[in-house]
Structure 1
Amino acid sequence: MRLIAAALMMLPALAQAEEIAQVGVDWVGNDIVIEAIPDPDVGGVTCHLAYFERSVLDRLSQGNWFEDPSNSAIECARTGPVDVSRLSPGRPDDVFSEGRSLLFKSLRVKRIYDDRNKVLVYLAHASELSEGSAKMSMSTVPLLPEDAAAR
């Protein structure tokens, strides 16, 4: 049991999303959910992620009870001082993950630090156990000369 707890503590901390709005899109109760996700490792960057959430009526009529679509949109903005000193350029880092089905599908946000161009790239994509998905969305946050380690 201690070994499992120690392993869990070594996992990178993923951001916690805060739901800021739901937009109804049809009469059966399907919604677009918008969540704010602060970057836990950088600070000063908040991403807004929008995704589709199926209603109970839609699940009954379509028959697929345990899965939501993979579609998503992301936009990220500077909300304070940015510190990239702990990031490794070019390496995709997990920022956020949320299940989109009962077991095997998740919606993920990854960050890539483009040191050469002084930009943070945020990629939202679906991840499935057996096959990948081409559904993705991307946002960039330009770094300023005063940002830590962006010189």
Structure 2
Amino acid sequence: MKNALIMGACMALLSVGSVARAEQIGSVDTVFKLLGPDHKIVVEAFDDPDVANVTCYLSRAKTGGIKGGLGLAEDTSDAAISCQQVGPITLSDKIKKSDDSGTVVFQKRTSLVFKKLQVVRFYDEKRNALVYLTYSDRLVDGSPKNALSAVPIIPWGKSE
């Protein structure tokens, strides 16, 4: 039984393989809470794990209070995203041939167990652009709230 649990945990860690980690850039308080941290909007940045020189900035709601401080609160589904090209981009054949269901490049749990915020990348071959969609899902009932950012792939540096 113990070995099965360890194997399950290892498999879960391996399945997350190419999902980016975010670093917090800053935050602003939105609601004062007498006990526990305030409600806030957190601004985070992450680099696309499969495409060098694309950085996405994500703002999301973070619930405070006693439950928020203990990690038991469920954050709202409010989020915004802006992605930029920060250097030359070269796309792999895997990305160019990806299907229309996209590739998850970022995930963040927004409740103790059942809810998470995701960023999915799509490649728009006709317009030569990467499209990033952020949305929140829950085991049973997700949210239609979403935000979108597109990165046109343009030549970088000196033209010859």
TM-score by length of 1: 0.83
- List per-residue Cα deviations over 1:15-72 (Å, max 9, x = no partner): 0100010111232321100000100100110000000111115869xxxx53110110
Instruction: Quickly say closer, same or farther: Cα 1:6–1:54, change in 2 above 3 A.
Output: closer
Q: Which amino acid aligns with 1:31?
A: K
Unaligned 5+ runs, structure 2: none
* SS of residue in 1 equivalent to 2:59: strand
Q: Is the contact made by 1:47 and 1:74 (CA closer than 8 Å) also made in structure 2?
A: yes
Partner of 1:16: 21
Distance 1:81 1:33 in 2: 28
Q: Which amino acid aligns with 1:71?
A: D
Q: CA deviation at 1:82?
A: 1.2
Instruction: Quickly say closer, same or farther: Cα 1:128–1:144, change in 2 above 3 A.
Output: same
Q: Does 1:70 align with 2:81?
A: no
Distance 2:81 2:60 in 1: 9
Partner of 1:108: 118
Which of the residues 24, 30, 34 maps onto 1:25? Answer: 30
Partner of 1:121: 131
Distance 2:11 2:81 in 1: 33
Q: CA deviation at 1:145?
A: 5.2
Distance 1:11 1:78 in 2: 24
Q: Is the contact made by 2:67 and 2:73 (CA closer than 8 Å) also made in structure 1?
A: no
Q: State how 1:53-68 maps to structure 2 within 5 Å.
A: 53-56=62-65, 65-68=72-75
* SS of residue in 1 equivalent to 2:127: coil
Partner of 1:149: none
Unaligned 5+ runs, structure 1: 147-151
Runs of 4+ in 1 over 4 A off after TM superposition: 1-4, 57-60
- Superposition RMSD in Å: 2.4
Q: Percent identity?
A: 36
* SS of residue in 2 equivalent to 1:9: helix
